[in-house]
């Protein structure tokens, strides 16, 4: 019944459920890194394919999960359409994009190879996601071991207690 309620809630209120799930500290950091990786890789692929930067930003806005990042991409797209550089648009959104991504974007704009700089940024962010996942799984292993131990111990007590009750 709980699984059916969860599936129904997910279909009906997907954005609300995702915002609750993404509010946890470690999950939020990981989701932000994954979204930034998706953004930079999608932008790299779209720019390599020859799509103009405003169209590429509009398409990459649909790739990300977190609402803040989507709004930041929208604001950056508006600034690019008004004639500013992409790096200025990324700077305008405070604390959304890491400074290294902004600097890589600036270097790509100055050298004329924004697509290659987005490829480098996506590779860097992909490495960060891998490292964060490795750390998260190493933290979860002892917690899972304790949970399994408690479950097995509870089952043993549930089986042995009635036997002792019968003997007494």
* Amino acid 148: pLDDT: 96
- State percent of the chain over pLDDT 90: 42
CA distance 109 to 104: 9
| 3-state DSSP of 47-67 | HHCCCCHHHHHHHHHCCCCCH
pLDDT category at 139 given cuts 50, 70, 90 is confident
pLDDT tens digits along 77-101: 999 999 888 888 888 887 888 888 8
Task: Say whether pLDDT at 142 is over 80.
Answer: yes
pLDDT tens digits along 36-63: 999 999 999 999 998 999 899 999 988 8
Long-range CB contact pairs, 143-149, < 8 A, 24+: none
| Structure-model confidence comparison of residues 148 and 22, the more confident one | 148
pLDDT category at 122 given cuts 50, 70, 90 is very high
Instruction: Give, in order, the Cα–Cα distances in Å from 128 to each of 85, 121, 149.
Output: 26, 11, 32
Nearest to 118 by CA among 44, 64, 55: 44
CA distance 93 to 90: 6
* Amino acid 153: pLDDT: 95
Q: Rounded to two decimals, what is the model's pTM?
A: 0.77
């Amino acid at each position: 019944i709980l699984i059916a309620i969860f599936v129904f809630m997910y279909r009906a209120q997907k954005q609300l459920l995702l915002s609750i799930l993404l509010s946890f500290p470690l999950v939020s950091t990981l989701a932000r890194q994954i979204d930034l990786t998706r953004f930079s890789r999608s932008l790299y692929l779209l720019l390599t394919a020859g799509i103009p930067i405003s169209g590429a930003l509009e398409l990459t806005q649909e790739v990300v999960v977190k609402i803040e990042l989507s709004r930041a991409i929208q604001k950056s797209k508006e600034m690019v359409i008004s004639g500013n550089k992409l790096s200025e648009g990324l700077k305008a959104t405070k604390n959304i994009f890491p400074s290294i991504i902004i600097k890589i974007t600036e270097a790509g704009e100055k050298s004329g190879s924004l697509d290659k700089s987005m490829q480098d940024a996506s590779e860097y962010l992909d490495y960060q996601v891998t490292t964060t996942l490795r750390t998260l799984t190493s933290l979860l292993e002892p917690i899972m071991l304790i949970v399994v131990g408690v479950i097995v111990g509870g089952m043993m007590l549930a089986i042995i207690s009635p036997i002792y009750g019968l003997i007494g």
